[in-house]
Amino acid sequence: MFKTLDDLDPEQRVLVRLDLNSPVEDGEVQDNRRFDRHAETVRELAEAGHRVVLMAHQGRPGGDDFVSLEQHADILASHIDREVGFVADTYGDDAIAAIDALEAGDVLLLENTRMCDEELPEEDPEVKADTEFVRTLAEHVDAYVNDAYSAAHRSHASLVGFPLVLPAYAGRVMQTEYEANSSIATREFDGQVTMVVGGTKATDVIDVMNNLGDKVDQFLLGGIAGELFLRAAGNDVGFDLEGMDFFDDQWEANRETIESLLDERGDQIKLAVDLAYEDETDDRGEIAVANITEKDRAYLDVGSMTVDEYDPIIRDSEAVFVKGALGLFEDERFAVGTTGVLRAIAETDCFSVVGGGDTSRAIGMYGMDEADFGHVSIAGGAYIRALTGAPLAGVEALKQD
């Protein structure tokens, strides 16, 4: 297992990797739950009197959201109620001068790690540890903390290089995310284990079913992925109408796998019995799946009868895991499925983990309280990997110590 902040010596110069990757609208970085979560780690380190040097990335080179971290420093400062210095440099002379000038309790954010050429190529930790970026920064700090669980599936320099050259520790976000998201593989539950799977990516749902079929008693399906399963079960749904590109490619690529999963695991898989669509007056309309005879409309949510079927299954469960939304919940008319299952989880005292960047957003959007869930993950890609038991490079590197 990895070491945590509880194991850190006092008065250290600590280099901390966060994941502050955020939506950017018209050049403006949007505040989001990642800041709030990482604030806990940063505050704890600063209050303990460490000198805190933060690293994070934003976007990918070439993308509109590939911007400086200057705004991130201000947003983070508002979450920790103390100043966060910023230096527009990753590991050059300016960065080193700023690090060396830190006093106990000071917090400094370095520039976007992906502006450094050595950060991105996916390479082994040994290669990353030997980069100028890692070697230079390592000389000016005493310890490394990785708190960026949601980026830990990347074998990038700031995530896997430092544990080989510095004493390395997991931050509070890393610790809680790791424990909760791995729990489906590592914990034994006394009662029924249920998994709600939806969203837009069929391969995520397939991976989960292939890897967790023996751990999960019931899979409750919805979203685009659920429609593909309904189509494989012989229903006239899951076709791309004009202007859509959700279904056809995914159907071609995954049809056989979905059909054999339905064949082999049919008893564990619950499909929607009704679906919702936008009617002629722009209201929500619903139709029983059994009554769908033509591929003439897009379905944007599971229907109310489906929620009524899923609800008691959730309430009877010992543990519930959620990956992917059951509908286009960003539009209130089509949030019934997603909020229906989330409310059922919130109202029961089952162990629960909700993940997927988009899906977990529905909790705040519809006035639910994160405290009513066991764990709400801020990870997307890393969460799905953890669920399916795939190792995360950043976590493995921390464990090496």
Ligand X SMILES: Nc1ncnc2c1ncn2[C@@H]1O[C@H](COP(=O)(O)OP(=O)(O)O)[C@@H](O)[C@H]1O
Ligand Y SMILES: O=C(OP(=O)(O)O)[C@H](O)COP(=O)(O)O
The answer to whether 57 is annotated as binding is yes
Residue 356 Cα to chain centre, angstroms: 4
The answer to whether 347 is annotated as binding is no
The answer to whether 315 is annotated as binding is no
**Measured at the alpha carbon of residue 183, what is the angle toward residues 181 and 184, in degrees to the nearest 5?**
95
201 touches which of ligand Y, ligand X, none (CB within 5 to 8 A by kind)? ligand X
- Residue from 281, 275, 279 nearest 299 by CA: 275
Nearest distance from residue 149's CB to ligand Y, in Å? 10
Of residues 57-116, which lie at the interface with ligand Y (CB under 6 A)? 60
- Residue from 84, 111, 82 nearest 96 by CA: 111
150 touches which of ligand Y, ligand X, none (CB within 5 to 8 A by kind)? ligand Y
306 touches which of ligand Y, ligand X, none (CB within 5 to 8 A by kind)? none
**Stretch in the footprint of ligand Y (CB under 6 A) among 160-168, 333-341, 360-368, 373-381:** 373-381
Rg (the chain; Cα; Å): 23
What the block records as the tokens of 157 is 């320099």
Nearest distance from residue 281's CB to ligand X, in Å? 20
Of 299, 310, 321, 373, the one binding ligand X (CB under 6 A) is 299
Nearest distance from residue 371's CB to ligand X, in Å? 20
Per CB under 6 A, 198 contacts ligand X: yes
Burial degree of 319 (CB within 10 A; 0-12, 13-18, 19+):
buried
The per-residue DSSP string of 309-321 comes to HHHHHHHTEEEEE
Of 125, 161, 171, 223, the one binding ligand X (CB under 6 A) is 223
Nearest distance from residue 120's CB to ligand Y, in Å? 9
How far apart are the C-alpha atoms of 6 and 22, rounded to whole Å?
Answer: 29
Of 274, 357, 388, 398, the one binding ligand X (CB under 6 A) is 357
198 touches which of ligand Y, ligand X, none (CB within 5 to 8 A by kind)? ligand X
Long-range contacts of the stretch 380-385 (C-beta < 8 A, 24+): 380/150, 380/355, 380/356, 381/150, 381/153, 382/149, 382/150, 382/151, 382/152, 382/153, 382/177, 382/181, 383/150, 383/181, 383/323, 383/355, 383/356, 384/204, 384/207, 384/208, 384/323, 384/355, 384/356, 385/153
Per CB under 6 A, 154 contacts ligand Y: yes
The answer to whether 154 is annotated as binding is yes
Of 379, 387, 395, 398, the one binding ligand Y (CB under 6 A) is 379
Which residues of the shown chain bind ligand X in the complex (CB under 6 A)? 198-201, 223-224, 299-300, 324-325, 327-330, 356-359, 380
Q: Where does this chain bind ligand Y (CB under 6 A)?
A: 19, 21, 60, 150-151, 154, 357, 379-381
